[in-house]
Amino acid sequence: MFSNFKGNANCAVTALLAVSPDAELLLADGMRVHGMLKAKLRDSVYLPMAAMSIARLASLERQEEVVTKTKEIYDWIKKEHPFLTSAEDSSFCALLALSEKSVEELVAEAEACYRFLTEHTRYPKNSVQSLSYVLALYDGKPEEKCEKVIELYDTLKARGLKYGTNYELPMLGILAMTSNNYEALAEELTEVSTWLSKQKGFGLWGSVSVRQRLMFAGMLLQEQEGQKEVSETALIQSSIATVVAQQAAMISVMAATSAAATSASS
């Protein structure tokens, strides 16, 4: 009755099951992984989504290893950022643990991205931490990855597109990592956002803000942009990271939804 699978994660989990070739097996596997995660981390509304991601993306033989790796990453990040790190970060850590990179590599890259972004931008620190997780999943020097995000943000701003700097940031990181032409991307974002504005719930009287609508437009464009990698090898190497990063963006949306619901109830 009080399972977090019935909370904010319900809609996202239901969607995952709807597109699964074997929904019953995936749900059973996800609930088993959820139990493993709860044994190491405090349960929250975000943990079921992380469990489902692990169940979907990690082989049965590797799932216990991923759960253990999740705990190691969380402990490390909690030590570095005790006041910023909370329950939602445990889910991000689970997604990071799916990467083939070592715990040391992931944490070092995330920390380097966090330091660079806090020094060179005014984005909220909590959002920067989430963005840093996403950037750590991709190859490349931390400074160069961060500069790409800043360049894309500035390109959008110059065209009058006010992209959000809260839970929308992880999606901006994905777009920056998978696109080669930011001017063209800005034009496409404008077109998709305009189309979305005419759809139910996304217009003037809808519940989705313009900044949120840009994030959803980015989600719709991301797969298309991912196909524009300069080489097939690069595409293959980035595909797993991109899937994981998409899940990270979804957890960010869930985090914002939870915060809004808590604020409304109080």
Task: State the Cα angle at 88 between 84 and 89, rounded to 5°.
Answer: 60
pTM: 0.86
- Segment 91-106, tens digit of pLDDT: 889 888 988 899 999 9
pLDDT of the residue at 65: 95
Task: Please report, for residues 33, 87, 95, 230, 255, the alpha-carbon distance to residue 3 in angstroms, rounded to integers and kept in the order given.
Answer: 14, 16, 21, 45, 17
Residue 231 and residue 229: Cα distance in Å, rounded?
5
Mean pLDDT of 243-257: 66
Closest CA to 243 of 161, 192, 198, 177: 177
- Encoding tokens for residue 106? 């992931």
Mean pLDDT of 145-153: 97
In this model, does residue 207 exceed pLDDT 90? no
Least confident of 10-19, 156-165, 190-199: 10-19
Q: Structural domain boundaries of the chain? A: 1-95, 99-266
pLDDT band (50, 70, 90) for residue 239: low
Task: Please report, for residues 6, 41, 107, 181, 189, the alpha-carbon distance to residue 29 in angstroms, rounded to integers and kept in the order given.
Answer: 17, 18, 28, 40, 37
pLDDT band (50, 70, 90) for residue 69: very high
pLDDT of the residue at 230: 42
Mean pLDDT of 233-255: 61
DSSP state, residue 7: T
Greater pLDDT, 130 or 207:
130
Mean pLDDT of 54-64: 92
List, in sequence order, the alpha helices (H) in the chain: 10-18, 23-38, 47-57, 63-80, 87-97, 103-120, 125-136, 142-158, 169-178, 182-197, 210-226, 232-265
Greater pLDDT, 65 or 6:
65
- 8 A C-beta contact, residue 256 and residue 212: no
Least confident of 66-75, 194-203, 240-249: 240-249
In this model, does residue 110 exceed pLDDT 60? yes
Mean pLDDT of 13-17: 89
pLDDT of the residue at 53: 86
Amino acid residing at 147: E
* Beta carbons within 8 Å of 141's beta carbon, 6+ residues apart: none
